[in-house]
Chains A and B, each alone.
Chain A
């Protein structure tokens, strides 16, 4: 790294050295996958409420809120995960864990159960 390196964010680029470019590109793709996950969760949440689909209303609303809250958290995970991974790559350290991966899986299961109950109890 040089003193003339003004790249954003400083919390990443003031550490370490340039990693293998392919690792940085893979990190970028992981970031983008989280962003698309967020958009898919949000689309599901809004679609449930706007289309109705004849589900039991309370369960439908619970599923929708759960999807949207998770869809708001995932871009934050995307950005923090990208910065932490890029910093780890620059410092030749182990990559951080994706802390939101397990909760995300659980949320999708719970939403599936809520929608199923919403159909059965409608």
Chain B
């Protein structure tokens, strides 16, 4: 991948399509940033879970809390790869019917968030009952 932004003089045409954004509205980049702030929010939630759940529920609760942190980091890394995949497919395709990555990562994020919600419900029930 030579001829990137650094090697291109002002006004000169990009000789490499991969060095140019797909869309002047920077849609893939905005989507990548949305993924990143969501993944970081999940990381923070998991870290709070590691602090709160074991003291409230017992040592076993470290297992779901730790699994949450592992999942959150996986989402962070996978979303970075997803952006690269978006960029490569969108800038190299000659068709206007471009197949993008599928819904597996969104499904994982929705499931992780749902699990976090159930953990929060358990926390509030335990606190309310004063166990």
Query: Residues of A at under 8 Å CB distance from B?
Result: 5, 7-9, 12-13, 17-18, 20-22, 24-26, 28-29, 31-33, 35-36, 38-39, 42-43, 45-46, 49-50, 61, 64-65, 68-69, 71-72, 74-76, 78-79, 82-83, 86
Nearest CB on B from A35, distance (A):
5
**Interface Cβ pair total, 8 Å cutoff:** 117
Interface of A, helix, strand, loop or mixed by DSSP: helix
The 7 closest A-B pairs by CB, nearest first: A7-B102, A72-B117, A18-B97, A79-B110, A75-B113, A25-B27, A32-B34
CB within 8 Å for A8 and B104 given contacts A22-B23, A22-B27, A61-B128: yes
> B residues within 8 Å of A by Cβ?
22-23, 25, 27-28, 30-31, 34-35, 37-38, 41-42, 45, 52, 86, 90, 96-104, 106-107, 109-111, 113-114, 116-118, 120-121, 123-124, 127-128
Q: Which residues of B contact A26 (CB under 8 A)?
A: 27
A50 touches B127 (CB 8 A): yes
- Which B residues are CB-close (under 8 A) to A13? 102
On whether the beta carbons of B121 and A22 are closer than 8 Å, the reply is no
Q: CA A33 – CA B102 in complex, angstroms?
A: 18
**Are A75 and B114 in contact (CB-based, < 8 A)?**
yes
